[in-house]
């Protein structure tokens, strides 16, 4: 006889025993669950074929940062992958908010996912799959730890080429990470802490979970091709426009980035994070530069700005 699993009752959004949700809260198949119970079938194409799209937004001091931009990117990806969500934008926003509120986390990493799901008849036709929406809120995490944020990261440029945009459109945020993980192992082998990988033309593309910028003579440059158009990258452009700094998307060569005055990476997981060493050489004098510091400060200040952030109402 098959062991029967206890069915979890649907959770009323307003009457929840928060002690059941110590580390984080997920939403899937119509229920809010403790993180440890959020599991998908191994038959889900999201798992079997990486056939999924997702987005990650963060909450800082109890406020979502630029949630609208993350929802735009997520919903755009879902549409372009020809998936269908069982909920509209407003409901998704409410689910994300409830996940954060139930988790109690004032600083959270919040993910929304749509997987292809699977077909009830095990059909190989993706049109017959029942797409699945999942969301969760866990404690905020960063690409760079405290020490790395203070002294700057050591990054290595891997020879690995990021999957071409003609194969997988990087604007559809995805879990195709075999190239990025290979890049990370290359970086560890070179004694570095994280990696940059290349685009199909041999220029710098991005890293595992982040975009990259360099500063030369007061002007900022970031790769234009082969990378995810990150929301933090976009935020850097917005901040630069506000304070009158020039920021351009263009091809970035190895020599260009290594000869920069300053380098930093950007991600929802950590914001703007300095890089002070690439491969075996320091960037300029090896210290975190003034443009990077100024943008880091401004970036975190914007988290209290009502036009850039949305409050979470905690129970
Ligand atoms: N590039 C990749 C491959 C990513 O996975 C991410 C974030 O997860 C980024 C760039 C940065 O994007 P964002 O600033 O929207 O977090």
Query: Over its length of 315 residues, how does the chain's per-residue pLDDT go in tens digits?
Result: 334 444 444 444 444 444 444 589 999 999 999 998 999 999 999 999 999 999 999 999 999 999 999 999 999 999 999 999 999 999 999 999 999 999 999 999 999 999 999 999 989 999 999 999 999 999 999 999 999 999 999 999 999 999 999 999 999 999 999 999 999 999 999 999 999 999 999 999 999 999 999 999 999 999 999 999 999 999 999 999 999 999 999 999 999 999 999 999 999 999 999 999 999 999 999 999 999 999 999 999 999 999 999 999 998
Answer yes or no: is 266 within a domain: yes
- Residue 299 sits in the same domain as residue 150: yes
Domain boundary, last residue among 105, 139, 173 = 139
- Residue 123 sits in the same domain as residue 174: no
Nearest atom of ligand 1 to the alpha carbon of 173: 5
Answer yes or no: is 311 within a domain: no
- The alpha carbon of 64 and the centre of ligand 1 are apart by a number of angstroms equal to 17
- The alpha carbon of 139 and the centre of ligand 1 are apart by a number of angstroms equal to 18
For ligand 1, atom 7, name the residue with the nearest CA: 209
pLDDT at residue 12, rounded to an integer: 46
**Contact call for residues 101 and 63 (beta carbons, < 8 A):** no
The Cα-based distances of 175 to 55, 180, 209, 278 in angstroms read 10, 10, 10, 26
43: tokens are: 């038959």
Phi and psi at residue 26, to the nearest 5°: -115, 160
Phi and psi at residue 235, to the nearest 5°: -65, -40
pLDDT at residue 217, rounded to an integer: 98
pLDDT at residue 315, rounded to an integer: 86
Count of CB atoms within 10 A of residue 292's CB? 23
Q: What is the rounded end-to-end Cα distance, in angstroms, of the chain?
A: 42
pLDDT at residue 2, rounded to an integer: 38
The Cα-based distances of 250 to 212, 223, 234, 242, 309 in angstroms read 12, 5, 14, 21, 29
- Residue 167 sits in the same domain as residue 94: no
Domain limits at 116?
Answer: 18-139
For ligand 1, atom 2, name the residue with the nearest CA: 209
- The alpha carbon of 169 and the centre of ligand 1 are apart by a number of angstroms equal to 13
**Contact call for residues 63 and 133 (beta carbons, < 8 A):** no
CATH classification at residue 192: 3.20.10.10
**Contact call for residues 138 and 105 (beta carbons, < 8 A):** yes
Q: What is the distance, to the nearest Å, from the Cα of residue 208 to the centroid of all Cα atoms in its chain?
A: 10
Answer yes or no: is 1 within a domain: no
- The alpha carbon of 142 and the centre of ligand 1 are apart by a number of angstroms equal to 12
Domain boundary, last residue among 108, 139, 170 = 139
pLDDT at residue 10, rounded to an integer: 47
**Contact call for residues 19 and 102 (beta carbons, < 8 A):** no
- Residue 107 sits in the same domain as residue 175: no
Helix axes 67-80, 89-103, angle to 10 degrees: 130
For ligand 1, atom 6, name the residue with the nearest CA: 209
């Amino acid at each position: 006889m098959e062991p029967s699993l206890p069915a979890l009752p649907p959770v009323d959004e307003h009457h929840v025993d928060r002690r059941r949700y110590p580390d984080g809260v997920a939403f899937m198949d119509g229920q809010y669950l403790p993180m440890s119970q959020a599991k998908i079938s191994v038959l889900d194409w999201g798992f079997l074929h990486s056939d999924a799209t997702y987005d990650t937004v963060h909450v800082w001091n109890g406020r979502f940062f630029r949630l609208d931009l993350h929802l735009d990117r997520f919903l755009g990806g879902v549409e372009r992958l020809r998936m269908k969500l069982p909920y509209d934008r407003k409901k998704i926003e409410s689910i994300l908010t409830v996940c954060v509120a139930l988790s109690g986390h004032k600083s959270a990493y919040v993910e929304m996912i749509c997987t292809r799901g699977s077909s009830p008849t095990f059909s190989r036709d993706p049109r017959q799959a029942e797409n699945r929406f999942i969301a969760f809120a866990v404690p905020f995490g960063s690409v760079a730890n405290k020490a790395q944020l203070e002294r700057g990261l050591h990054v290595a440029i891997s020879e690995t080429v990021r999957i071409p945009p003609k194969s997988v459109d990087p604007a559809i945020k995805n879990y195709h990470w075999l190239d990025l993980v290979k890049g990370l192992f290359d970086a560890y082998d070179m004694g570095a802490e994280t990696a940059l990988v290349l685009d199909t033309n041999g220029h710098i593309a991005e890293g595992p979970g982040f975009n990259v910028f360099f500063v030369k003579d007061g002007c900022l440059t970031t790769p234009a091709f082969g990378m995810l158009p990150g929301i933090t990258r976009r935020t850097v452009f917005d901040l630069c426009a506000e304070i009158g700094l020039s920021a351009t998307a263009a091809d970035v060569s190895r020599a260009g980035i290594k000869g920069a005055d300053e380098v930093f990476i950007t991600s929802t997981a950590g914001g703007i994070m300095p890089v002070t060493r690439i491969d075996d050489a320091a960037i300029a004098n090896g210290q975190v530069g003034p443009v990077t510091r100024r943008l880091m400060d401004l970036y975190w200040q914007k988290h209290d700005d009502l036009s850039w952030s949305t409050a979470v109402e905690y129970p």
